[in-house]
Structures are given as structure tokens and as C-alpha cells.
Structure 1
Amino acid sequence: MGVSTSCGEKGIAVVTVDFPPVNALPVAGWFALADAVRAAGRDPEVRCVVLAAQGRGFNAGVDIKELQRDGNSALIGVNQACAEAFAAVYECEVPVVAAVQGFCLGGGVGLVGNADAIVASEDAAFGLPELDRGALGAATHLARLVPQHLMRALYYTARTASAAELHAHGSVWRVVPRGELRAAALELAREIAAKDGRLLRLAKAALNGIDPVDVRRSYRFEQGFTFEAGLSGVGERVRAGFGKEGRE
């Protein structure tokens, strides 16, 4: 259980998240993920990072039980940890390919929205159930996956979009059966890693430099409203009605 890094092929690092039962990460887990992605990107032998997960789904967001137990101290930690994990993916020195299966919710959208490319299984679903969980945030990243009006409708309703829908919008590179997901992600990573390593790093910096939205600043702005919801009590009130499982 936790975050691990493996190098299955030359030039490719695979960072895998495994937090049973649903990959809802605690504060320490988000920081560990950030550290792993940054370390992989700094490795001069790595030219592409594949971000993957074990289990039923890619990511179910934050550990709601931790928030319910520790209150505002946990909320501060979650805000900082998620911001670092999302930024680590975006700022990784080499391209990041996200391999997404099953549910990709909340913080999962923050991760894949900041990735360079997404390969998804046919059963993948992407969404932000934040309003149902007493929180806000990651609209910055959902807006990188779907058009503005669809982003707003998904955000307000807490509904999800399928991998096929995102593929139609051009944000998912390829949709494959679940059993073929890892191979498809590695196929794309292999094609990327075949390029000159130094040039790839320059290309990543150049593309981030022309991005029309400062994703770190935009997300931190959103988080201010999450903290306001927490201080006002509305966040806790909504989370109190969350299901017995206690995880997003």
C-alpha cells in the first residue's frame, strides 16, 4: 500500500498509487505522490512518467474520514498536499501520461487534468463530487478536460463524464478495454520516450510557459473557498451526511 515507482522500460518511470479500498488518499499520501513524481522527473534517465493506480478505480479524491476526524487542521493539510501533488504532475520535468481506470473523482481530476496525456479504460468516469462532499476545487483541472459550459454543469450537479465523452472532446488520447490499459499507456510513453531527452524537457517547459492558465494559482484561489466553507461550518455539515464508507 502507498506510492511506488518502477522502471519497466528504458526511459519510462511508472508511479503507481495503491491506497485500498478506493484510492482515497490521506494527506501523507498526496505528499508521497508529489515526491515520487518530482523524483521521477528529475532522474536524467527518465523521459516519460506513467501515473497509474492499483484497484477498482484510479483515484477517489481525499480521505473524508481524515477530514471528519481532524477538522480544520486536516483541511489545511489536504489543501497543501493536493496542491503539491497536482503541481508535481504539471511541473514534472518530462511528460506525464495518466493511465485511468474506473472512477477518477475529486483529486483524481486534479491529477489527470494536469497530466500531459490521458489513456483511459472503457469503464473510466471523471467527475468532481465536491459539492456533495462539503468542498470546492479542481474546476481548474476539469476545465482542461471539457468545454466551459459542460464543466460548470458537471461541477454543479456532481455528475461524471465517461472516457468516451472525454475522448470526443480530445482530452483523452485513447480508450481501451481495462485489461489493455497499462499496455496502451506504456505504448504512448514509449513513443514519447523515443525522443531526445533534453529536447523533451525543453518542450515540456515551453508548453507550460505558453499555457493560458496558471494552474497552480488558479487552484489555490479555488481552495480559499474550500477553506471558507470549512470555517463557516457548511463543509462539515455536508460531510456529516456522507455515506457510511466515509470516503470520496
Structure 2
Amino acid sequence: MTDDTNVVPSDVGRRLPAWLSGRAIRFRDALTDDRLLALLILVDLVTLLASASVWLALGGDAGVVGVAAGALLAFVAAMLPLIRRRDAEGERPLWPPLVLVVIPLAILIVGLPAWGVWAYLDSRPVDMSHSFTLSPNRPLENGDTVVASAHTDDPRPRLTITFDLTQHNRADPLCTPGSKLAVTLPTGAGQGLRQKRPASEEFVFDLGEGKKEIKLNVELTAEQNCALDLSVVSAHLDG
């Protein structure tokens, strides 16, 4: 007598190693239990729909996400009638049950590292040091206001920015140390909050989510007849 669990159909033996084909046969035979099959289908559905939702949340194109998820769902559905179909020798095929396992595993194997890379990149600050322009771009005197503006394609909710003031005419009496800046965010989550401090100190603003256009009103307080040049030393966006 022979042990049926060690019998490997010829077509499977040509495609899979013996150790893998034996496990595949045991898995196929276990799917005669409707409860296990239903659980496997549920795992496939949850994995596919959760992955599609995450993909959309990360900015994926809705059309591409819908087509990809729909195609995979249709593929899973097409496997179900084949799971219990028998060939001329009375054997059920191995590959339909394996597909139900391979699809969620492939999504997890590809998706989890991709999500990890995205999360790492998304957590890094976005350097904006050279992105700001000042208008009008001219020497400032006491009471003058300029607009510092920038555009970003990678918006983050918080801006940290540091300005610098330098003497425009080096022949004038030194007046930089006592000068201060009053910076206001005209729009956004932290709008209207006026921050006043020396230019060399950091200004931190709550921009809110998804803000790609950044504008700051910068007002100079300095001694009379003191002309100063304003510049952005450093700026970055983070979460």
C-alpha cells in the first residue's frame, strides 16, 4: 500500500520541489473544510481592501487604485470555482488554492517595505532654506514690512524659519544688535499670532495640513535711519 500524502501528481512534480509540493497538497486538501476556505477568502479581502485604502491615503491615483484592487478581487473570485474542480484522474489542482495565499503574501511583502520607506522619508524635514523670496527685496528701515513667500510640493504642518539682518551700509553706526523682527502668519492654523524676537532666533509656525503656499509678514523694528538687509538663513518643514 502507498501513503496518499506522499503521492505527488506528475504535473506538480515537474513544477515544484518535493518538499513544497507535499505542503501544497496538504494545504489543498485542508480547503475541503468550508470554514478554512471562508477564512482564507476573508483574509484576502481584508488585505486587498486595506492595502487599497492605505494606497489612496498616501496619495495614490483613485483610478489606478480601483483598477488594481478590482483586478485582484476578480482574480481571487475566479479561483474559487477551480479549487474543487477535479481533473481526469480525480485530482484537484494545486495552483488555485496557492493563489489565494500568494496574493496577500505578495501584497504584504511588497507593501510593508514600501510603506516603511515612505514613512521614513515622510518623517524627514523638508529643507526650505533656499525656497523663500522676499518682496520687496530692498533694504529695510524701522517699521518696514516685507512678505516672505515660498512654494512646496511636499507640505508639512509646521514651519521653522530663521532670518538674518545685516548692515546695508557698513559706514553707518552699528544698529543690528538691537533690531528685532515681528513675524505673522496671515493664513493657516496659526494665523494672526505675532512672534517678535531677534532675527537670529527661530520662528516656529503651525501651517496646518496640506498647505503648499507659505506666506509670512515680516516687520522690522530698528533704530531710526538704520538700513538693514533681510535674508533667510534656514527654514524647514516637518510634522
TM-score range, shorter chain: under 0.3
Q: Which has the higher helix share?
A: 1
Which protein has the bigger strand share? 2
